Structure formats: C-alpha cells, structure tokens
Amino acid sequence: MKTAEIAKRYLTYFEKNGHTIVPSAPLVSDDPALMFVIAGMVPFIPYLSGDVPAPYKRAADNQKCIRTNDIEEVGKTPRHGTFFQMLGNWSFGDYFKEGAIRYAWELLTSPEADGGLGFDPKDLWVTVYEEDDEAHDLWREIAGLPEERIQRLGKDTNYWSTGLPGPAGPCSEIFFDRGPAYGIDGGPATDDDRYVEIWNLVFMQYEITNVRSKYDFEIVGELPARNVDTGMGLERIAFLKQGVENMYETDQVRPVLDRAVELSGKTYGANHDDDVRFRVVADHVRSSLMLLSDGVTPSNEGRGYILRRLMRRVIRAMRLLGVEGPTFAELFAASRDAMKEAYPIVEIDYPRISQYALAEEATFLRTLAAGSENLDASIAAAKGAGRERIDGAEAFLLHDTYGFPIDLTMEIAEEAGLRVDRDAFDTLMQEQRARAKADARSRKRQLADTSVYRDLRAQGETVFTGYTDLETASTVLGILHHGVPVTRASAGQIVEVILAETALYAESGGQVADKGVIVGPGYELEVIDVQRPVPGLVSHTVEVTSGEVGVDQPATSVVDAVNRRAAQQAHSATHLVHAALRDTLGKSATQTGSLNRAGYLRFDFSWGQALSDATKSEIEEIANVAVRDNLEVTTRVLSLDEAKAAGAMALFGEKYGETVRMVDIGGPWSRELCGGIHVASSAEIGLINVIGESSVGASNRRVEALVGQDAFRELATERAIVAQLTSSLKTPKDQLAARIAQLSANLKAAEKKIAQFEAKALEGRVPALAAAATASGPFRVVTESVGTAASGDDVRTLALQVRERVGADAVIALGAEVSGRPVVIVATGEAARGAGAKAGVLAKAAAAALGGGGGGRDDVAQGGGTDAAALPAALRAVATALETASA
C-alpha cells in the first residue's frame, strides 16, 4: 500500500465519521517559540489550550513535520526521520477516550477491502498511563485485547505535556509487533525495536503549572474542554504495510536512496556504515525538498541554518560514499518525483527549489575545498612537530568556521596516519550547544505562554476597521502589565491594551505596525507597537502618557495619518517592485521576504546573481511607469481556491485561512494575497527610488528603495552633490563620470610612481644594511628599522636582497611602518637555518612585542601588530631569540 494511499484512507475514514479535513499547515511554525511544526498538534495548540475557540468540533489532517533533535539517529534506526507526516484526528470538547479508542481500533483492524488498514489484531499491543483505569478498561471492552497486551507505564512515556505551563493529560499508545526476528518478547515495555509505536492517543484534560521538568509538575485543574489529540506516523505505517525494513525503504524515500547507490557505485546492504549514509542521504534530501517547497532558504541562522545543515550532511555522506562531485541535480529530482503525487507543489515549484539546492551545493563544495586546505596545513604542522593527532580546537575551528564536518576531518586525518582529539572537539561542541539551548530556553520562556490571552480571545475576534477608517470608537476589553491582567494603568506605565475594535494595523505581512494614540475619557495612550499574540486577537503595547485607563472604559484608536499614508505608499510600491522584477527576470524571481515602513521598502527575492545596473534601472522604470499610469488598486475577499485560480501569488511559508484578501494593482499585472494597507491608486505612491541591491544568502537577493517624499529627498540630496561636483571640477554634469574616472586614473598612476620611487629608495639601502651586519655566534645579523614603506612586499624584497649580499650565515630582521601598522620581516640563510635560526620562530618573537601575530617558513617569515612604537623592542626580541637558538 503506497504512502499516499494510506493517507487517503485515513482522511476518508475520518471524514465519513464527521471530521472536518484540515489541510496541512506549512512546515514553518506560527508559534514564536518554535522554528518548525515539530508535531502534528502544533497548528492546533490555540484550540487545544482554549486560547482560541476551535472552528470545528472534530477534525482530521495529514500534517507535515520537521524534527531535528534526533538527527544523529537518522539512518541508524528504522523509524527516525527529520521530515515526517503525522496523521491526526482531533476532538475539541466533543468525543473523548471511548471515541478515540473506538475510531483507532476500527481503522487499524478493518480489512483493506473495506477501506481499513488491515492490521491483524494479534499483532497489536497498547500502553496506557499507569493510573488510567478508564483507558485500560476501554481497550478491554472495545478491542477485546487480552490483559497481557495492555501495559501500564509511567509519566515518562504515557503522560503528555509540552514541558511548559498549559495543557496536559494521559495518553495511550498503539504498537505493532514485528515478530521475534526483531528482538525479545515482552511488549513495548522492553523498549525494543521489535515493537513499533504507530499511534498515540492523547487525552488532554488537565492544565498544569509549576513545571520543573516534562514529568514533574502540578495539575491545577481541568481544561475548559476535554480534547483528544492523536498522532499516527504515516512513514511508520508505510514501512509496515509495504513490508520493508524501515521508513527509508518506503515508496516516498527509497528512490533517492537508489539514486545515491547508483551514483556511488556501491551496494546497499553490503556495509553497515555505508547503509547508514545512504539512509541519511534519502531522508535529508526529502526533508530539504519539503523545507524549500515551504519557502525556507539556506542561511547561517534560524530555519535556514537547519536546512543548510541537512543539505551539508547529504554532501558529507555522499563524499564518504566516494562521490566528491555535485549530486543534488539527480538526488533532488528523484525526491521530487517520489513526493509530487502527495505534494504537487514540489513539481510546480521545482525550478525555484532546484535553484536554491544547486547553489547551496556549489557553495559548500567550495567550502569543503577551502576547509581541506586548512586541514592539510594542520596535518602538515602536526607531522612536522612529531604529533600523532590533530588538536580538538583545530577540528572545531574547521567545523565552526568552514562548516567542515568532523567525520570528514577524522577520515582525512586517519588517511594521513593521524588521530583527532575527539574528546576535546566534543567538549567544545557541548559548550556551544549548551549556550544555544540556554538561549532557546530563554526565548521560549519569554514567548511561549499565550494562555493569558485566552479569556480575552474567548470574547471574539478583534475587529480591524483600518482598511476604511483612521479612527474607531471601541471599549477596553483587557489590560496586561508584564503579562499579568490588571484592571487599571496610570501615567508612565507601559502596558498591553486589548480593544474590541481597532483602526490600528498590527504588524504582519512585512508591514510594520501603525503609529498613533488611543484616547478615552481623561486619558491618552501613545501606541508603541501593535501585534497579534494569538490568531484573531490584536494587542496594543502603549505608554500611558496622561490620566488613567481602566477595563470596560470607552476607547478610540486614532491612526497617525501621515505615517499611515507613507506606509501605504511603501507597501503598494513593494507590490509594484515585485511585479517589475518578475517582468524583467521571469517568474522564478519570487518573494522570500519584505519589510515596509513609512517611506522605505526592502524586498527579498530568489535569484542567484547580482543584478546589472541596466537591469536595476529597468526594474525601477517599470515600477515608476506603473505609478505614472495611475493603476487602480482593488481588494477582494474570496476563497483561497478562487484566489489561486485567479492567478494570485501566495507567499511561501505564509499560512492562509479558507478566505483570503486579494490585492490587484492594474488588474492581473500585480495580483497577490495580502492583508496589508494600500493606496487607492498607484499614482498616490509618488515616486520609487531604488537605492540598493545586494546578496542576502545563496540564491537570495535584496532590493531596497525609498518611496514617496523620502524618495524625492534622496534625489534632491544627490542633485545637490552633483551640483557641488560640477562647480568644484568645473565640468558639465553629463561629463562628470568621465572627469572623475580620469582623476581617479591619474591618482592611481601617481600612487604607483610614488611606490616605485619608495621601492627604489629602499633598494638603494641594501649596501649600507649589508655592511651593518654584526657577528653573533654562528650568525651574521642585521636588525634595523627602515622607516616607512608602501607595502610589506617591499620590505620582504629588501630583506631578501640584504640576505643575498650578507651570505649563507645571514639572519636579517627589518622593521617598517606600513599604512600606520608595524611589520617585521625575517630572512635567514641556509647555513643560519642549519645552525638553528628559523625565520618563523623569530618572526613570532617580534610579533609578540608588537602585540600581534606572526610566522611563516624557516627561510622567510613575517610578524605584525598594532603598536608601531614597539618596533625597536620587536627587533631586540629577534636578537634575544637568536641568542637562545644558538645556545
């Protein structure tokens, strides 16, 4: 049974049983404490916690998930994957334990011919929380399971919570017994791979607080409604129903594994370590494909870093399999073909997806080349010093700076006959992870608890009137001070205020929040920020500037009209720039992010190379022609399917409801889904002035522009600069570029001549410097400061010429000031080196006196620092070190 067929049977079954089928949310989580949807319940958290009323009593879904906390286990067990699909059925205050157990058992054990999954009841075991007699008895009654196949387990396995204050409850898990060939008898309590967990039924009925750990907390009472949250792992069901050994061999994953086998020329099943690598490749390519399809792009932080790590682990695994060249073109195509039946977007959007994937691969292959050079140097240094291993700090530097995988470092070192100090490396990694986890916990504590908004949200959605009104009379529903509900706030306090209606725009879709005030009888509040802490609720962060505000008082939200108009201009201008980019570059130039504030826009888009000046000018002109043509801006609210059918662009990673707001500028020329504020016609934008274009990561570019009055002021400033230049240079403005280029060329030529004169002057000092050589043991030594020099290369040339004249026993140390910084060049003759004078060692001694670093080869080396006044001391340090070398 194919994976897509299993999902179809699941959703069909629950739809027949009165469940609303909910589309999968994007992998990118709305929860600020989470980067990704890590479990099927994440999109339903506001409903499960009661913060937001559920729009349905019962639902079912197939939710895409990404989880990387067990990334090191991928490929080693039959069930660990970074991307997985979680089938779930949900009850919000409707059925509870009996219904959940009955539905699960019926679907699992009904014959395939009747639409079920066809599991043999004798192969199924269940676990229940040790104190949950009700669930135990229901399994006996509904499923007829014998006592020995119902196991009672403790909180560590059969009590669900997030590890934070909020909802919790006992759970019951269903396991499939793979048979004695896979492990010992004894049921799920043996924690053996023989028993595969396939379904978890969470009976969410309590609210917990004082959470000391995931399993140590206090129950403070029942939730407002008892809920059911279930999750059945689609990949686990698939590998059991398809009769294969693990999830990596199922129909949605195996094609990538097979292609990796073909590219490597190795055999799957012949070597354990290679098999793990093949499975890592198959899993991570699919995960990367799905993350890219949901708008995540590779970067060095956040979600983009997770994606980058997955992709680089693929490259590392393929390299360890013997493939050093690019492979993503074939591996990602194989994953696309395996996933497109379930997720058609991966085929539709594949040109963009593959652009990012191939660019990331090319970048990391270059990184590996750079890291290899540094690793080769470390290996040479270790061997030269007679060491048998590479220091853990060096390996960590390769990993942290170059992204060079430790496994690859160890493999290359082993080929060279060396070991890596893995313990030291692991210690540094643990310290880094501890810092990251502490930071994550801090953010989670600050952002995760939204239960304080539950009662406010229960009163209904905040009505936003700002599309048509700049002032709206309303009522204060609630006030929060430091996250705690209060009844009043007085002058000087900063609090959150919740209104029943508001004209103030909450930050979203790249548009920053409105500025403005909230006024009422005897008080005024300055609006600092406007956000949506939970879906449907708008919170205003305000400073009470006068009077005292209280709950249930009248309140009028007043938008700063000047700021709003400028923000509208910027947001509409962003749509025009987007359309102009697609006109110029093609449909693959899609938006990946934006920021709109009064007078300014920033627009990120997928593109693999810098834009030429001509292209930037063309984009700017197309956008301004649209402004000139005074295109009508219209908005319509319609269903998501209707909007997509009309050609509206949806942004990757954005979550849309069943109804959406579609914004047209000039009809279909610019048609996007957008909840932001816009002008009524394009002429109101005034002017768009593109001021910059830059890279923001592999295959990602950024355009910045000023809009309206800000754009005019920038052009006026540039006009004043041009006028000043034409006056100073006595050159017409149309000839300024050529005149400045000529002056620049003349300046470079003059600097070159000066450098030549300085080099010749230095060269003229060779005889005198050579004559100044003094005997010191077996050496003839010159330690002199030569003043200033144009470059370190000039000083190096001088030192080599003096060494040649002095002879084989020469030790030359010349100091100079180059661009305000001290430099010492040390050159040694062959006989001097034989007697112990190593230039690299001497240069390091000089650099220490200069407050910097240095080193190099035995025959010539360089040291430098920051304190030019210390050059005499640096040269004395060379002489002292030389005396030690000859002792």
571 is in an annotated binding site: yes
The identity of residue 472, as a single letter, is T
- Taking CA atoms, 624 is separated from 99, 414, 628, in Å, by 61, 61, 6
Please report the pLDDT score of residue 698 as a whole number.
Answer: 64
Average pLDDT of the residues in 18-35: 87
CATH 2.40.30.130 domain extents, the chain: 465-559
Give the tens place of pLDDT for each residue, 240-272: 999 998 899 999 999 999 999 999 999 999 999
DSSP 487: S
674 is in an annotated binding site: yes
Classified by CATH at the fold level, domain 465-559 comes out as: Elongation Factor Tu (Ef-tu); domain 3 (2.40.30)
649: confidence class by pLDDT, cuts 50, 70, 90: confident
Q: Do 500 and 477 meet the contact criterion of CB atoms below 8 Å apart?
A: yes
CATH 3.10.310.40 domain extents, the chain: 764-886
What ranges in 658-735 are assigned the alpha helix state H?
709-729
The identity of residue 754, as a single letter, is I
DSSP 153: E
Using H for helix, E for strand and C for coil, what is the string for 724-778?
A: HHHHHHCCCHHHHHHHHHHHHHHHHHHHHHHHHHHHHHHHCCHHHHHHCCEEECC
Please report the pLDDT score of residue 754 as a whole number.
Answer: 79
CATH 3.30.930.10 domain extents, the chain: 3-249
Average pLDDT of the residues in 814-828: 91
Average pLDDT of the residues in 406-417: 79
CATH number corresponding to 564-716:
3.30.980.10
Between 254 and 46, where is the model more confident? Answer: 254
Give the tens place of pLDDT for each residue, 614-634: 999 999 999 999 999 999 999
- The tokens describing 583, both together, are 């006109």
Which residue carries 């609006």 as its tokens?
527
Res 444 pLDDT > 60: no
What's the angle, vertex CA 329, arms to CA 74 and CA 263, rounded to 5? 65
Give the tens place of pLDDT for each residue, 781-799: 999 998 888 888 888 988 9
886: confidence class by pLDDT, cuts 50, 70, 90: low
136 is in an annotated binding site: no
Please report the pLDDT score of residue 652 as a whole number.
Answer: 52
Give the tens place of pLDDT for each residue, 107-149: 999 999 999 999 999 999 999 999 999 999 999 999 999 999 9
In 547-630, DSSP assigns E strands to 548-550, 554-559, 591-597, 600-606
Please report the pLDDT score of residue 66 as a whole number.
Answer: 93
Q: Do 394 and 378 meet the contact criterion of CB atoms below 8 Å apart?
A: yes
State the pTM of this model. 0.67
Classified by CATH at the fold level, domain 3-249 comes out as: BirA Bifunctional Protein; domain 2 (3.30.930)
Give the tens place of pLDDT for each residue, 464-502: 999 999 999 999 999 999 888 999 999 999 999 999 999
Sign of the C-alpha dihedral computed for residues 320, 322, 323 and 325 taken in this order: positive
What ranges in 646-708 are assigned the alpha helix state H?
none
Res 445 pLDDT > 50: no
Please report the pLDDT score of residue 447 as a whole number.
Answer: 39
- The tokens describing 147, both together, are 């006592």
481 is in an annotated binding site: no
- The tokens describing 286, both together, are 């699919």
Q: Which residues pair with 377 in a beta bridge?
A: none
CATH 3.30.980.10 domain extents, the chain: 564-716
Is the domain spanning 764-886 CATH 3.30.700.30? The answer is no
Element housing 567 (H / E)? helix 561-585
The SS3 call for residue 843 is helix
Q: Across the chain, what does the average pLDDT equal?
A: 89
Task: Please name which of 207, 127, 201, 200 lies closest in space to residue 161, comparing C-alpha atoms.
Answer: 207
Between 441 and 368, where is the model more confident? Answer: 368
